[in-house]
Chains A and B, each alone.
Chain A
Amino acid sequence: MLNAWAMRRRASLFLATGCVILPVLVAPDARAQSITAPVMNYYPDRIVPGTGDIGIGPRAQNLNPTGISYDDCAQNQSLQFNLLMSSFVGQDIQVWASKTGDCTNDSNRGNGGIANCWRLNAGSASVNAPTSMPVQFTLRVQDIIGGQAYTTLPTTFPSQTSAACNTQPSYSAVSFTIYFMAISNSLFVSGSTPYEYQLAVDTMGPPPPTGVSPAVGDTLFTVNWNPNTDLDSAGYALFLSPIRGQEGTSGTDASGSPEPTLICPGADASAGMAAMDAGDADASIDGASSPVDAGCYYSYTGGSAPVTSGGSAAGTCPSGTPNDPVLESAFVSDAGAQQVEDDSGEGGLITQPPGGGISTIPPSYAVDFSNGFTAAGVTANSYTITRLRNYTTYHVVVAAVDGFGNVGPPSPEICGLPQPVNDFWKDYRQDGGGAGGFCALEAVGAPGQSMAGIALALSTAAIVRRRRRRAS
């Protein structure tokens, strides 16, 4: 009896306990707020102001299409996330970003600790979505990137400007994590499932190659450099001024007049692009009154009349020199942290920072972007620009390009003057050599040669005839 009673009591206790504990274990899961992506490996669409939705990324696969480049940031692109939320009963949805911190940890959002996260202007308060519902978030790239500059967490998070695109501290790519999560009373809802998205960002091109030097030939300009050893470079872009095919008439003399020879100090970084002095506006760099352009002047050979007026003394350039105001303006406008104009004297130096940056040279000056963004591969140490005009001074800079398509700051400018050369074939032919072609057989010439040829032909004919006779 006792045993039966005890057993019955244990069973009822077990059932009662189960009825109490099981709902406790199951209920939080069933009510846990969640934000999820609609598919595995989800990528948000890009929204470009004035253009609209351009898909997940316009760049080629080798240029990290789902990442953010400087151009993406400067265009003020937004990322549009279409996610799914469920089980929200009055909680907030907030979106935060971080480089290093876990934003589901309340202290990383500034609650009692050092803030490593910054809030993005998206999300909703007091959301009611008991069942699975779609939800859209549009995040500005500049807001995502700009927060990395915060040293202390602000109380409000204003929209960032294009200045955010210059906040990357080094030229290596940075990874951001964006958190979409349930918040209640400024605290992360314990047990809820946030959605986290990893975003690769690189808004700074690699530093330029060193040792850039020119070598000119007949209608060509070969640029040599030391390849970058950093992993961030994916190739090199070359910029040429004047643009090929738009040389105009400057510095030319292809019809027997005195030939101008450009004196180009190879090691002088200022050659051809330092035509600015203190206070000069960029637009007036090459104006007639602009007095200096150190290291860039003409001398004249084969005649006495100068090709251009304005003087040719060292340190000055006459007006109408090949210096290109647009190209130079691009150098100078890339100011701030990227390049510094030294106004300490006339014809000051353009110095390059040790780190990366972004070139602002217009793409129209780029040479042979064969695969869409670079002229030369990452291991290349030279490139030959062809189809140039002889006796025209060309100015060239080289910039490294990273895997996001960011074109870094340019190298010191080099210049050169393509002109005709004598190669072996030209020398040989000018000296009287007559070779050329594969079919230079002939029966005329010296008697001995003719006889040998005739003998060879007769022998061949005899052999053929004899074989035919045997065959018949």
Chain B
Amino acid sequence: MSRARALASLAFALGGALAAREAGAQERQDPLEGRHRSYESPQHFAFELRFLPYSPDIDTDPALHGATPYHTVFGSSARLMIGAEFDWQALRIPHLGTLGPGVAIGYTKMNAQATFLNGQQSGETTSLEIIPAYAVAVFRADVFWRDARVPLVPYAKAGVGYAIWRASNTLGTSHFNGSTGVGGSLGTQLALGVSLNLNPFDEYAARGFDEAMGVNNTYLFGELMRSDLSGLGVQSSPLRVGESSWVLGLAFEF
């Protein structure tokens, strides 16, 4: 069933791509095209709204010796993380794509009922908040869209990540034996993804969006990312709040 869905999705994407390509071909023959292009606003930046399931790697910490405090307290279900990324497309490589730095920040929080010492559920809540941020180099290969009118833009990101986290309970930040449940974790950030340009699906709206807001391209994107916040070799015993996950979102180039 899922395979059939995947095939249908692929067919839809290819169909959309071909249709867009055809439309692009027709657009090139349009005598008004040159006039439209002269109105296209400059493009230097990208902004992403990111949504991903988050299930941190805390229990993979070797210091825990196989214990699973995160899973025990918060369970196995992933939490929704919402994030935003801002990229500067500092360099345009002709007939290839853009390259530049990007920064991002996200937020997620997980809650559960704390337990009494006898294991029964208490009336107190225990929470973990994670605010991951990263700085990455972003390469977007938009050659397929710009030169061949295929509305798919593969991209890659690599850089460093740092997450601020806070463990708390009903009374506020948690404390235990002199340690306070707040800190930061350093690591690497890697991502590979592909964006589907939505402009060819409604060119009139896309032109209006550009003229009114300066947005050149709107994308729906999917991404596989790996956030390995295990200390980067310079941090001892960080709380491993990184994870590997897929990401869905909307991106705007302007």
Contacts and interface: CB of A to CB of B under 8 A. Distances in A.
Interface of A: 214-222, 384, 386, 416, 419-438, 440-445, 448-453, 456
A443 B234 contact: yes
A217 B237 contact: no
Identify the interface centre among B72, B174, B175, B233: most chain A CB within 10 Å of its CB. B233
B31 interface: no
B233 A452 contact: yes
B128 A424 contact: yes
A435 B122 contact: no
A438 B115 CA distance: 28
A435 to B, nearest CB: 4
Interface in B97-119: 112, 114-117
Interface in B136-193: 164, 167, 169-171, 174-177, 179-186
Interface stretch (B60-68, B84-92, B198-206): B60-68
Sort A-B residue pairs by CB-CB distance and give the 7 closest, nearest first.
A215-B123, A217-B124, A452-B233, A434-B237, A425-B174, A435-B239, A423-B126
A421 B164 CA distance: 25
Contacts of A214: 123
Contacts of A216: 122-124
Interface string B231-249: 1111111110000000000
A443 B127 CA distance: 31
B108 to A, nearest CB: 14
A7 B171 CA distance: 100
B124 A421 contact: yes
Given A216-B123, A425-B181, 14 more contacts: A419-B117, A422-B116, A423-B169, A424-B70, A424-B112, A424-B114, A427-B73, A428-B69, A428-B239, A429-B177, A431-B67, A441-B235, A442-B235, A442-B236
Given A386-B171, A431-B64, A431-B69, A423 B234 contact: no
B158 to A, nearest CB: 15
Interface residues of B, number: 48
Contact of B124 (A220, A431, A436): A220
A438 B114 contact: no
Contacts of A450: 233
B58 interface: yes
Nearest to A445: B236
29 contacts: A214-B123, A215-B122, A217-B122, A217-B169, A218-B169, A220-B171, A221-B123, A222-B124, A419-B116, A421-B117, A421-B126, A422-B115, A424-B174, A425-B176, A425-B179, A426-B174, A428-B167, A432-B67, A433-B63, A435-B185, A435-B239, A436-B179, A436-B239, A437-B180, A442-B236, A449-B233, A449-B234, A452-B234, A453-B234
A85 to B, nearest CB: 63
A427 B69 contact: yes
B233 A433 contact: no
Contacts of A221: 123
A294 B61 CA distance: 51
B63 A437 contact: no
B179 to A, nearest CB: 4
Nearest to A451: B233
B254 interface: no
Nearest to B240: A435
Given A217-B114, A449-B231, A434 B236 contact: yes
B252 interface: no
Contacts of B47: none
B129 to A, nearest CB: 11
B74 interface: yes
Contacts of A438: 164, 182-184
Given A433-B63, A449-B234, A421 B183 contact: no
A440 B123 contact: no
Contact of A421 (B72, B122, B182): B122
A451 B183 CA distance: 24
A416 B120 CA distance: 14
Contacts of B235: 440-442
Nearest to B58: A428
Nearest to A222: B123
Given A432-B65, A448-B233, A451-B233, A217 B170 contact: yes
Contacts of B126: 421, 423-425
A213 B63 CA distance: 40
Nearest to A386: B171
Interface in B200-240: 231-239
Nearest to A444: B236
Contacts of A426: 174, 176
Identify the interface centre among A215, A427, A430, A432: most chain B CB within 10 Å of its CB. A427
Contacts of A437: 180, 182-183
